[in-house]
Amino acid sequence: MASVKMPTPAELKQVGSELGMNLSDQDVAFFLETMGGNVAAYNLLESLPDNLPVVKYPRTPGYRPEGEENKYNAWYVKTTIKGAPNGKLAGIHIEDQVDAKKCGHLKGKKLVSEKEMVKRIEAAVRGKRADRNFVIMARTDAVASEGLERGIERARRYRDAGADMIFAEAVTSLDEYRAFARAVGVPVLANITEFGRTPLFTVSELRETGVRLVLYPLSAFRAMNAAALKVFGEIRSRGTQKKVLGSMQTRAELYEFLGYRG
């Protein structure tokens, strides 16, 4: 397929005019800057050869192969990373679960072998080329299924393979975080998600253990879902949203937050 050509400012203004929009020079510049990375990524993918290796074990219902059964796993990781430093990506997160992944706070997680995960990390290291600032974070789910010692052992192997940071999932105590941080010697991330296996430790408590990054992946999402259910329930029962206007962000508040002066 042909590569995508970025429109000129004049072309953008012409299209905008046909759609009834009066685009300013600032609007056009913002669009070109925003879309430039996407277009570059698309063109990079289009430039890859068509004769990519065939996956030996396709994903069929009821069967998920282990990592070792698919020798191209690491190849695909390398291909994914290869173009990333050319854009604005700062890093990548690689997990040691099998393809049929589960939430890290559920039971019954299955992991690939250390050998397979090390291959993934090594491929990512080669794929990131010479960008020393590109970060590879290795996540291990081993603590919940194999125990703390095995989790730390895996994390060390991942660090030695080239991981810059370690995501220690489903850790249940501050002592365990402290052990992780001391053992691996690279920044450790704590996933403080609600209603999971990890208690809701404070940032200060985690800092004291040596943890350097804290993730709150669903906090705002859960709050938004609860708010949405309340609003739609009100509309469905009363036929209007008037009673819940007080809990909403106003138009003025939104524009102020965004710095929008339309």
Write out the chain's pLDDT in tens, 262 residues. 456 678 888 888 888 787 777 888 888 888 888 787 777 776 776 666 555 444 444 444 444 444 444 544 554 555 555 554 455 567 888 888 876 666 777 677 888 888 889 988 887 887 676 677 889 999 999 998 899 999 999 999 999 999 999 999 999 999 999 999 999 999 999 999 999 999 999 999 999 999 999 999 999 999 999 999 999 999 999 999 999 999 999 999 999 999 988 6
Instruction: Report the CATH number that the domain containing residue 169 is assigned in CATH.
Output: 3.20.20.60
Question: Same domain for 71 and 6?
Answer: no
**Residue 189, strand partner residues:** 167, 213
With the C-alpha atoms ordered 59, 63, 65, 69, is the resulting torsion angle positive or negative? Answer: negative
**Residue 118, strand partner residues:** none
**Structural domain contains residue 40:** yes
Question: Same domain for 240 and 139?
Answer: no
Query: Packing angle between helix 114-127 and helix 73-82, nearest 10 degrees?
Result: 30
Q: Residue 137: which of 124, 119, 151, 153 has the closest Cα?
A: 124
Question: Same domain for 254 and 206?
Answer: no
- Tokens 């691996």 sit at which residue? 184
DSSP state for residue 85 in the 8-state scheme = G
Q: Are strands 165-168 and 188-191 parallel, antiparallel or unpaired?
A: parallel
Which residues constitute the domain of residue 239? 224-258
Question: Same domain for 72 and 140?
Answer: yes
